[in-house]
Structure 1
Amino acid sequence: MNNDINSSVESLNSACNMQSDTDTAPLLEDGQHASNQGAASSSRGQPQASPRQKMQRSQPVHILRRLQEEDQQLRTASLPAIPNPFPELTGAAPGSPPSVAPSSLPPPPSQPPAKHCGRCEKWIPGENTRGNGKRKIWRWQFPPGFQLSKLTRPGLWTKTTARFSKKQPKNQCPTDTVNPVARMPTSQMEKLRLRKDVKVFSEDGTSKVVEILTDMTARDLCQLLVYKSHCVDDNSWTLVEHHPQLGLERCLEDHEIVVQVESTMPSESKFLFRKNYAKYEFFKNPVNFFPDQMVNWCQQSNGGQAQLLQNFLNTSSCPEIQGFLQVKEVGRKSWKKLYVCLRRSGLYYSTKGTSKEPRHLQLLADLEESSIFYLIAGKKQYNAPNEHGMCIKPNKAKTEMKELRLLCAEDEQIRTCWMTAFRLLKYGMLLYQNYRIPQRKGLPPPFNAPMRSVSENSLVAMDFSGQIGRVIDNPAEAQSAALEEGHAWRKRSTRMNILSSQSPLHPSTLNAVIHRTQHWFHGRISREESHRIIKQQGLVDGLFLLRDSQSNPKAFVLTLCHHQKIKNFQILPCEDDGQTFFTLDDGNTKFSDLIQLVDFYQLNKGVLPCKLKHHCIRVAL
């Protein structure tokens, strides 16, 4: 039995030695193959060891050629034989498989010596050294006809590669894995880095996620939202930075980078898309701002307030804003009335009355790295004396309460002056350029005015109220005629809709509810809510909204802003000849619906302190 076991072990070892010699022969150079044969012949002359000693050391078995042969058998067995369409290239028979002569292939490019990754059993082409010190050159040997099969059957090598890639070990070489981001072109990677998703909320709570560029300004984002929400771009839309935890909000300037502002906001803060008609009101009506006692420049010079704008924009000489403000003491709930002075270097308060000597002035807040905010509910959250509060907050994500500088003005007009002065001293000429950009876009370019067509030049305003038509030459009369035609068209369309529809509504009933389709009607909101909406969208003359009356269920209320004060006017229903009308002046002027009433007071002042110019609007994103 022992002799049989020993004889079987010897035959197995001899077979392994012969297989290793024959398998490694094609992978080595001729000189190395001869040296191996010499070494094998010399080893035969030595006395052979016992089979037990031979089994103490494992013999390497090279399976590269075996895998290649199996792969070649798999290819020839799984694919049909395709006749060679170009037999003249190889001089073979038409039925023989195609091949390409090595001389016809271009020389391979020179490659630097590759290194072994240390974790896989694959050797990359190049010169490497074994542990025994002998230099061996490892080369890839592809199956015969591989290049031509790759050209004639493109899907063959792809499927084979995918089949072997599934069997790769988990700890494979990182150079073998395919990273789609690493193979992406540099231009596409730069575009991915330059884009960011920003979430914007509207007044009604709806939101929209917008993909923007990292250098997009607040003005560009507002124009994008106007386009997506199908609104009218009247250059009054703004992006609002809202902090619900702190009770603060402010309108972003048009030149500010949205991504940079978002990086300084905490996670609970958000952006709001809102109208603000008073953003550049100072440049439109500078006389209505800054009383004489607030501006030090007016007391020291003979110039009027018309020159105040140029002084604010001048970097060399800037007016000084001064006055009394309620200031919240740091670490306490109490407020203290102090004399405050605003300069380009910062906001100071006087420790001795109204003295502005350097030894009596203390720095309260810096303008460079801070922004000024409105207090949303200062009286409730910060125990402020009134609701005309302001806050100077540093531009960073994590802000402690001791870093906030809370201020409170006497009325809304004084607060508006301080907020405007803060913006002018911080941004200066840049703020004026933001105001001028939409106006430059609205002007026609010089020497490039589009030519009107013949049909447009031939259009004139006509009056057909008499027996014969006449041409209207007066522009004012032509505009009023166009408005009357618009009203008549709306009445005709309403009457046609009533006749064509199956609705049982009477025309008088329809006139009583048609106003609910308008943006300026806000439904059943309280007086405080209507005042808050008007304050948020800017205290400018002519800003208005309509709402249901809380005291009279059949009446409505017109809320109007005039001279930065909010007033309410009741709209009462009245009957005449069995038909219901709406009036604002005790029946002197009657309207069949609220749309006609609003259209009339947009053209005529009437009993109101000013005309209706801007309406408060809430847009769903």
Structure 2
Amino acid sequence: TEEEQAAKLKAEKIRVALEKIKEAQVKKLVIRVHMSDDSSKTMMVDERQTVRQVLDNLMDKSHCGYSLDWSLVETISELQMERIFEDHENLVENLLNWTRDSQNKLIFMERIEKYALFKNPQNYLLGKKETAEMADRNKEVLLEECFCGSSVTVPEIEGVLWLKDDGKKSWKKRYFLLRASGIYYVPKGKAKVSRELVCFLQLDHVNVYYGQDYRNKYKAPTDHCLVLKHPQIQKKSQYIKYLCCDDMRTLHQWVNGIRIAKYGKQLYMNYQDALKRTESAYDWTSLSSSSIKSGSSSSSIPESQSNHSNQSDSGVSDTQPAGHVRSQSIVSSIFSEAWKRGTQLEESS
């Protein structure tokens, strides 16, 4: 009837109006992202977007090719520290912590240490100080044991670190231990047993950062410093904790151990999602290339990485199994090389 049609039309108008109100209430920011070639891009982000979604947009816009190592890095110039945003984090929520006159920067760049934990887990999960080789299948088993059980296994990292004295440029040695519940230290003159340990910091409300040039700024013993602070602290504060490691390997082990203790299984889910997106991009590019070169499918290869970001992230057609097999082989080769590069970087450190 006309009355029913009028009621439906009214209900639809109300629904559309409510959607517009809801959309208007979403927090949006116009941000500047600095690129690794010293250029920058301006884009709008809203509070519904994760870092992973923003990364995908940047890879598409910059035509840089899909890679696991592309990262959004937050640099806090006043405190001389930086950290790689995790893929699951809400970008707007983090940026709203910046002060209005902030000189902080958001940088889009490749950082091999972002997922080095999953490319070479034996260097981070076994508590060994030296680099080690491991077959790919054994790496998968190790990751499954750590991340796929009923609870995540936090690597029990421990050792002597340098702790900066509050308000001073002096550093003192303490024996620290990482546990699932936080970071602990052994008081002077006490034994390294659970009942003697003192809680240094719980990790629920702090982020871990890399310190930059702290040898000059704070007279640190080495260049390998990590920082723990609440994300809302943007200026010098007594609540910022500074630790210094003897070498780069120890620094990366502690940073990754803290990430595991803080984020748990979510880290592994981030890595798997990034891996699937990268594989999908390579599969799609390979199939597009082979469809153009008709009659030469046996010798078809993917286009260069500069064209990958023009492709969709959608699923791969089942009508070209040969292209799919080839692309899987190419992807395997790519990630094998990535593991090698990760190991070489760690050895050089």
- Give me the TM-score of the superposition, normalised by structure 1: 0.41
The amino acid that maps onto 2:43 is V
Identify the residue that residue 364 of structure 1 maps to in structure 2: 200
Quote the offset at 1:453 in angstroms.
9.2
- 1:174-189 mapped onto 2 (5 Å cutoff): 185-189=17-21
Other structure's SS at 2:118 match = helix
Structure with greater proportional helix content: 2
Cα distance in structure 2, aligned partners of 1:391 and 1:311 = 29
Identity among equivalent positions (%) equals 28
Counterpart position of 2:187: 351
One-letter amino acid of the counterpart of residue 296, structure 2: L
* CA distance in 2: counterparts of 1:316 and 1:185, whole angstroms: 45
**Equivalent-residue separation in structure 1 for 2:179 and 2:19 (angstroms):** 46
The yes-or-no answer on 1:326 pairing with 2:159 is: no
2: CA distance between counterparts of 1:311 and 1:193?
43
Which SS does the other structure have where 1:201 is aligned?
strand
Q: Distance in 2 between matches of 1:208 and 1:453?
A: 33
TM-aligned CA deviation for residue 345 of structure 1: 1.3
Are the aligned partners of 1:379 and 1:386 in contact in 2 as well (CA < 8 Å)? yes
**399 and 360 in structure 1: CA distance in 2 versus 1, 3 angstrom threshold:** farther
Q: Deviations over 1:16-50 (max 9, x none)?
A: xxxxxxxxxxxxxxxxxxxxxxxxxxxxxxxxxxx
User: Structure 1 residue aligned with 2:25, among 193, 196, 200?
Assistant: 193
Q: What is aligned with 1:459?
A: 296
Aligned to 2:116: 281
Taking the aligned partners of 1:454 and 1:428, their CA distance within structure 2 comes to 42
Alpha-carbon distance in structure 1 between the residues aligned to 2:125 and 2:189: 22
- CA offset at residue 219 of structure 1? 1.2
Partner of 2:55: 222
Residues 455 and 269 of structure 1, relative CA distance in 2, 3 Å threshold: closer
1:426 aligns with 2:258: no
Is the partner of 2:112 in helix, strand or coil? coil
CA distance in 1, matches of 2:124, 2:270: 19
CA RMSD of aligned residues (A): 3.5
Larger radius of gyration: 1
Separation (CA, whole Å) in 1 of partners of 2:345 and 2:167? 39
CA distance in 1, matches of 2:86, 2:38: 23
Q: Which amino acid aligns with 1:283?
A: F
SS at match of 1:402: coil
In structure 2, stretches of 5+ residues that fail to align are 1-15, 130-137, 282-286, 305-337
Mapping for residues 229-308 of structure 1, pairs under 5 Å: 229-266=62-99, 267-289=102-124, 292=127
Pick closer, same or farther for the CA change 1:307–1:234 going to 2, 3 Å: closer
SS in 1 for 2:92: helix
Q: Distance in 1 between matches of 2:109 and 2:189?
A: 41
Which residue of 244, 247, 252 maps to 1:411? Answer: 247
Q: Secondary structure at the match of 2:238?
A: helix
The Cα shift of 1:459 comes to: 2.0
TM-superposed deviation, 1:318: 3.9
Q: Hey, what's the Cα distance between the residues in 1 that align with 2:288 and 2:48?
A: 37
8 Å Cα contact 1:218-1:257 kept in structure 2: yes
Which has the higher relative contact order, 1 or 2, with Cα contacts under 8 A spaced 6 or more apart?
2
| Alignment CA distance shift 1:200-1:389 (3 Å) | same
Q: Distance in 2 between matches of 1:353 and 1:565?
A: 36
Cα deviation digits, residues 200-249 of structure 1 (max 9, x gap): 22235433321122111111111112222222122321111110000000
* Contact in 1 for aligned 2:30/2:44 (Cα 8 Å): yes
Deviations 1:574-596 (A, max 9, x none): xxxxxxxxxxxxxxxxxxxxxxx
Question: Letter of the aligned partner of 2:47 in structure 1?
Answer: T
Q: Shift in Å at residue 405 of structure 1?
A: 0.8
Q: In structure 2, the residue corresponding to 1:380 is in which secondary structure?
A: helix
Aligned to 2:254, the other structure's residue is in SS state helix
Q: What is the distance in 2 between the residues matched to 1:228 and 1:435? A: 22
Query: Which structure 1 segments of 5+ residues have no match?
Result: 1-183, 295-303, 445-449, 462-477, 487-538, 544-559, 567-621
Report the 3-state secondary structure (helix = DSSP H, G, I; strand = E; otherwise coil) of the residue aligned with 1:342. Answer: strand
SS in 2 for 1:221: helix
Q: 1:227 to 1:310 in 2, by over 3 A?
A: closer
Q: CA deviation at 1:306?
A: 7.4
What per-residue deviation string (whole Å, max 9, x for no partner) do you get for residues 422-448 of structure 1?
11111111110111113334269xxxx
Q: Measure how far apart 1:283 and its partner are.
A: 1.4
8 A Cα contact 1:312 1:424, kept in partner: no
Give, in angstroms, the shift of residue 356 of structure 1. Answer: 3.2
What displacement does 1:561 show? 5.2
Alignment partners' CA distance in 2, 1:453 and 1:349: 59
Matches within 5 A, 1:103-114: none
Pick from 309, 314, 327 the counterpart of residue 143 of structure 2: 309
Distance 1:357 1:563 in 2: 31
Give the whole-Å Cα distance in 1 for the aligned partners of 2:257 and 2:291: 51
> For residues 286 and 259 of structure 1, do their structure 2 counterparts lie closer, same or farther at Cα, with a shift above 3 Å needed?
same
Task: Report the count of equivalent residues.
Answer: 282
Cα separation, 1, equivalents of 2:36 and 2:152: 41
**AA of the residue aligned to 2:24:** L
Report matched runs for 1:207-218 at 5 Å: 207-218=40-51
**Counterpart-to-counterpart distance in 2, 1:319 and 1:455:** 49
Equivalent position amino acid for 1:270 in 2: K
